Amino acid sequence: MQELSRIQNTYEIPIICEPKLGIGRSTKGIEYLDAFPVEIGEKYSLKLCIVHLHNVAYEDDQYIWIPVHPSHENNGVQYKIAHVMRFLAQCEGVQFIFEHTPHSNPSRPFVQQGYTWVRSLIMSK
């Protein structure tokens, strides 16, 4: 954490740490973070992010990341996530960051519709 703090301060860029599932979908890293004293993150001015929000599709016997989109809410295939975004929008200090998901090739209008939908959800808090 000291090194991340140094990089953040040297280059004047915010760093957000995001734990992920480990080998074999192990949750150990997330569990360690949950048990980690909050004061340590505050001491080094690092933000901890445990939300990685995207949707998934099952293709060629594997799950791939796909951008969020309003059509997923009632298609019976993807996860419903509007309620999660509404909850997060009410939390203090939450930032929504869109991450390119190269696993699929969505059209530009599809991605734009997702942005617009998320914006409408979080702005209507």
For residues 44-65, average pLDDT: 78
Confidence bin at 33 (pLDDT 50/70/90): confident
| Whole-number pLDDT of residue 51 | 63
CA distance 19 to 52: 9
More confident residue, 18 or 85: 85
The pLDDT value recorded for residue 28 is: 80
Alpha-carbon gap, residue 71 to 43, rounded angstroms: 42
Give the pLDDT confidence of 114-123 residue by residue, as tens digits.
Answer: 999 999 998 8
pLDDT in tens, 57-104: 888 888 888 889 999 999 999 989 899 889 888 887 777 777 767 778
Provide the residue ranges of all domains of the chain, joining segments of one domain with +: 1-50, 52-125
Give the list of residues 6+ apart from residue 93 with CB closer than 8 angstroms, or none. Answer: none
Q: In 10 A of CB 69, how many CB atoms?
A: 19
- What DSSP string runs through 25-87? G--HHHHHHHHS-HHHHHHTT-EE------EEEEETTEEEEE---GGGGGSSSSPP-HHHHHH
118 burial (CB, 10 Å; 0-12 / 13-18 / 19+) is buried
